[in-house]
Amino acid sequence: KILIIGACGQIGSELTAKLREIYGLNNVIASDIRKGEQKVFETGPFEQIDAMDFNQVASVIEKYQVTDVYLMAALLSATAEKNPAFAWDLNMNSLFHVLNLAKEGKIKKIFWPSSIAVFGPTTPRIDTPQFTVMEPSTVYGISKQAGERWCEYYFNKFGVDVRSIRYPGLISWTTAPGGGTTDYAVDIYYKAIEDKKYTCFLSENTALPMMYMDDAIKATVAIMQAPAEQIKIRSSYNLSALSFTPAEIATSIKTHIPEFTIAYDPDFRQAIADSWPASIDDSRAREDWGWKNDFDMEKMTETMLTNLTAKLQVNK
């Protein structure tokens, strides 16, 4: 049985749907601190739990005899800057609970998401290597770097089979994202359809590593399905697909919506973006467990605009 913690989030909600498609509805238990609005939570097993509460997590694992846990609950970069103590507690305590349950033999396999936010202003910014200087300057990045260190420690010391990916900015249309710096790349599609214009909170030449959600879900399933001996990196794998600036995504949108215009009004999130890489070298993920992305910028823009237009019509 599979448990997803944080199933209502931007990644969690799509991961729940995909895992239920692969493993069967009743073999995938969705959980979150709040009930999701998506129908996927009315159709399959759902538990309302606080990822920071060890007993609640342990009892759900016991109740369903869970073997695999995907821990997707966290505070993202922008929100974490406003709530440092809570962000540290949520991001770290939830991880310790799951790692300790695995150490006690209660869980067989764990997926834990890291992020390109583990890199900082002193990290080489172009084609950032798998192993390099990492001095994250955000609350979120610090928690992700610490989490990677603990994942590798629990694997080396206790044989815990925990697997991790450093997600780039993720773009999707099904669930509104919550508090990420890269989320301008989601907002821009909504505003392009609704208002034909967008004021971007990052400057026009801010290049960031990005990926369409379907690719991120594909990578998550792939790393968890790979034989353990193929997972040679137990901190977290670099993963990459796209790298683009707000100006470039605006140009891509204009090929579909010619009257679309963009303005720039950088806010506190500009400093967060400036501390992150522009592009990532993910050759180890490609070598070790056969990763490759399917979506390029054009395919992503077409998919986003098509699906969002339908979704926004429905909600009118």
Tokens (6 digits) for 177 = 């994202």
Q: Which residue is nearest to ligand VAH (CB)?
A: 180
**Cβ contact 264:205 at 8 Å:** no
User: By CB under 6 A, which span of 65-73, 111-119, 230-238, 297-305 interacts with ligand VAH?
Assistant: 111-119
168 binds ligand VAH (CB under 6 A): yes
Distance CA 114, CA 123 (A): 16
Could you identify the residue written with the tokens 């392009």?
A: 192
Helices (H), 168-282: 184-194, 213-225, 246-254, 269-274
**What is the closest distance, in whole angstroms, from the C-beta atom of residue 210 to ligand VAH in the complex?**
9
36 binds ligand VAH (CB under 6 A): no
User: By CB under 6 A, which span of 50-58, 95-103, 165-173, 184-192 interacts with ligand VAH?
Assistant: 165-173
Q: How many CB atoms lie within 10 A of CB 261?
A: 13
**Cβ contact 237:165 at 8 Å:** yes
**What is the closest distance, in whole angstroms, from the C-beta atom of residue 45 to ligand VAH in the complex?**
28
115 binds ligand VAH (CB under 6 A): yes
Among 46, 70, 119, 140, binds ligand VAH (CB under 6 A): 140
User: Do the strands 242-244 and 208-212 form a parallel or antiparallel pair, or are they unpaired?
Assistant: antiparallel
Which residues in 67-96 contact ligand VAH (CB under 6 A)?
76-77
220 binds ligand VAH (CB under 6 A): no
**What is the closest distance, in whole angstroms, from the C-beta atom of residue 271 to ligand VAH in the complex?**
13
**What is the closest distance, in whole angstroms, from the C-beta atom of residue 211 to ligand VAH in the complex?**
10
140 is an active site residue: yes
**What is the closest distance, in whole angstroms, from the C-beta atom of residue 246 to ligand VAH in the complex?**
14
Q: Which of 70, 140, 167, 198 is catalytic?
A: 140
Distance CA 217, CA 7 (A): 13
246 binds ligand VAH (CB under 6 A): no
**Cβ contact 136:119 at 8 Å:** yes
Distance CA 14, CA 37 (A): 13
**Cβ contact 28:67 at 8 Å:** no
Residues at the contact surface with ligand VAH, assessed by CB under 6 A: 76-77, 115-117, 140, 168-170, 180-182
Write out the catalytic residue numbers.
Answer: 140
